[in-house]
């Protein structure tokens, strides 16, 4: 990162720390976004779907257990542990038709009920089908730590993530990557640039040399508030404009000599032409006020 240079005849403003910090902050922020979108598309949303569908099998088990108990009681009998095991072992987790697109890669597309349900007769018989199934679910989510290295949450969410939502994560990741590439492009380009003035001309960040004698107008209405001024000049019989951005090049910190302010002051000293600037308007009672969006011109 080069330093600004200032001599009696030439002032050079290099890219500012403000610009670098802003660019690096954007790079960091969108890099995090891209990583999170990628993670959700590859693993996160798919794991949530598996979580959701397995949880639904526990809810169904509670309903089925209660139904089987009622049927046996209607036949003057009782649901036995063996009968429940036989029934539960034959059940499958209900998965969507597009399981391959919404479940974790490598996950089986046909899944039997977890062993906690098959062996959960005592819990459901003593606590009731629905409550017992909830207790078994709590044990099952804790047991996932041995499988995934991380326990599942008790709440599986209200809805599964569709294949479209999973694809959206990759689209969002692609957008974030485009922004990252764009920021990198402007960062690298700006690092190689500077704005310079000397006794002859203004040298813009994109390499244009604008002689003072070719300048026709300077718009400084945003200089005080945003550090931006526009220089209008004639080139080949056509009027063009160039931007002087003091926040990106030079900066205004007095501790560092306010390079951008010095550059603009030297530009104004050598410029002879029309200047657009805000003016104060007297309201007739001696109290000055600034005219909103009003510009005045002066010629030197």
Averaged pLDDT, groups of 10, the chain, 300 residues long: 71 95 97 97 94 95 93 83 95 93 89 94 93 95 87 92 96 98 97 96 96 97 95 95 96 89 96 87 48 44
Cα separation, 83 vs 79, whole angstroms: 7
Q: Give the Å distances, CA to CA, from 164 to 70, 103, 167.
A: 41, 13, 5
pLDDT for the residue 281: 57
Which of 169, 167, 178, 191 is CA-nearest to residue 31? 178
Residues constituting the chain: 300
The answer to whether the beta carbons of residues 246 and 227 sit under 8 Å apart is yes
Per-residue pLDDT of 129-144, as tens digits, reads 999 999 999 999 999 9
| Residues 6+ away with beta carbon under 8 Å from 144 | 150, 151, 152
Domains annotated for the chain, with CATH where assigned, are 23-171 (no CATH), 194-299 (2.30.29)
The pTM for the full model equals 0.77
Q: Phi/psi of residue 293, each to 5°? A: 55, 25
pLDDT for the residue 4: 78
The answer to whether the beta carbons of residues 113 and 92 sit under 8 Å apart is yes
Cα separation, 13 vs 15, whole angstroms: 7
The answer to whether the beta carbons of residues 222 and 244 sit under 8 Å apart is no
Judged by phi (left if over 0) then psi (alpha if -120 to 50, else beta), residue 290 lies in beta
pLDDT for the residue 283: 46
pLDDT for the residue 289: 44
Cα separation, 42 vs 54, whole angstroms: 19
Per-residue pLDDT of 73-92, as tens digits, reads 877 778 999 999 999 999 99
């Amino acid at each position: 990162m080069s330093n600004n240079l200032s001599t009696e005849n030439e002032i050079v403003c290099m890219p500012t720390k403000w610009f670098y910090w802003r660019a690096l902050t954007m790079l960091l922020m969108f890099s995090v976004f891209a990583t999170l979108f990628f993670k959700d598309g590859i693993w996160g949303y798919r794991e949530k779907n598996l979580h959701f569908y397995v949880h639904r099998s526990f809810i169904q088990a509670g309903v089925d257990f209660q139904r089987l108990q009622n049927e046996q009681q209607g036949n003057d009998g009782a649901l036995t542990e063996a009968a429940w095991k036989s029934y539960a072992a034959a059940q499958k987790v209900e998965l969507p038709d597009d399981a391959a697109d919404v479940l974790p890669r490598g996950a089986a597309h046909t899944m039997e009920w977890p062993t906690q349900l098959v062996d959960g007769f005592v819990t459901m018989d003593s606590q009731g089908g629905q409550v017992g199934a909830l207790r078994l679910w709590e044990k099952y989510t804790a047991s996932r730590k041995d499988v995934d290295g991380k326990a599942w949450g008790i709440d599986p969410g209200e809805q599964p993530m569709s294949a479209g939502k999973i694809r959206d994560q990759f689209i969002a990741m692609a957008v974030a990557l485009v922004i990252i590439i764009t920021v990198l492009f402007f960062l690298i380009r700006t690092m190689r640039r500077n704005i310079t003035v000397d006794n002859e001309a203004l040298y813009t960040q994109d390499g244009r040399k604008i002689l003072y004698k070719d300048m026709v107008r300077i718009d400084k209405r945003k200089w005080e508030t945003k550090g931006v001024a526009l220089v209008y000049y004639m080139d080949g019989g056509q009027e063009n404009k160039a931007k002087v951005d003091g926040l990106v090049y030079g900066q205004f910190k007095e501790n560092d000599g306010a390079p951008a302010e010095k550059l603009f002051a030297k530009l104004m000293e050598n410029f002879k032409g029309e200047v657009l600037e805000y003016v104060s308007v007297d309201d007739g009672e001696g109290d000055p006020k600034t005219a909103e969006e009003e510009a005045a011109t002066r010629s030197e």
